[in-house]
Structure 1
Amino acid sequence: MKKWVKGDPRYTVTYDGKTYMFPGEEQRQMFLKDPAKYVPAMGGYCTVCKVEMNKAVPGSVYYAAIHKGRLYLFPGEEQKQMFLKNPAKYANADLALGGNCPVCRVEMKQENPGKPQYTVFFKNMRYQFPNVEHRDMFLKNPAKYVSNSN
């Protein structure tokens, strides 16, 4: 679609503590099939503000950008332009553990890279896993695998 369409309260999904509204059941089902594909970076918080000030500042749909298929929201034009001038600096501000698997870290004491196709959002951070089994272990008890050192 790539355009903003007002959601209908009859078609909602709560994911990672946020409620998303969709214009219809078809869009709702698309989201449910692969939420990580549609959730904005950092759950809608500004990645530029995170990197530059280590602050969680809510973004706005009025200052949005799509980079490599991901949606980024910014509180103003200044942050949006900073991102567009240097997306590599800001694009992965929400990638926990540098993309390594938190389950591997806890259960095997190893740093193993995750894969984008096994991505989960938890508390506005993006966690990646090498396979569906590790992803599912995480989903059963995220608190076991997440620490303040992410």
Structure 2
Amino acid sequence: MPNGDLFRTIRHGKTEVVTDTIERFTATGVALRSGRELPADIIVTATGLNLQLFGGATVSVDGQPVDLTRTMAYKGMMLSGLPNLAYTVGYTNASWTLKADLVSEFVCRLLNYMDANGFDTVVPEHPGPHVDERPLWSSPRLCAAVA
């Protein structure tokens, strides 16, 4: 922020954080789904991450489609029932590249172990119903408007 302008507007009470959905932009700001209209000189959208796993591609194993919603993530980098597949998604609340680097190192160690021990396939297995399942990640939606 050049000259700390944003922080100055926050300190002087000229900035408001609003959680809502933008219906449309108007000549003077934004109209929100709630019906409220926010006048704004600047609009900074901070909607978080809207990710679609594997870009929405159909994933299959031996010609059979896999319902990704029925899989479980192993270390946030592999999915149960999908052989030889690792993916990288960074942290959503810390350095993105830190997580990407950790996953890359783990996959390299795994590949070296497999090579040294004559394995050619790795498949994480779902541990069963006794496991507490949680979403892989979540993020709130925010819109900040400066008037």
TM-score range relative to shorter protein: under 0.3
Query: TM-score w.r.t. structure 2 length?
Result: 0.25
Q: Which has the higher contact order (CA 8 A, sep 6+)?
A: 2
Q: Which structure has the highest helix share of the two?
A: 1
Larger-Rg structure: 2
Query: TM-score w.r.t. structure 1 length?
Result: 0.24
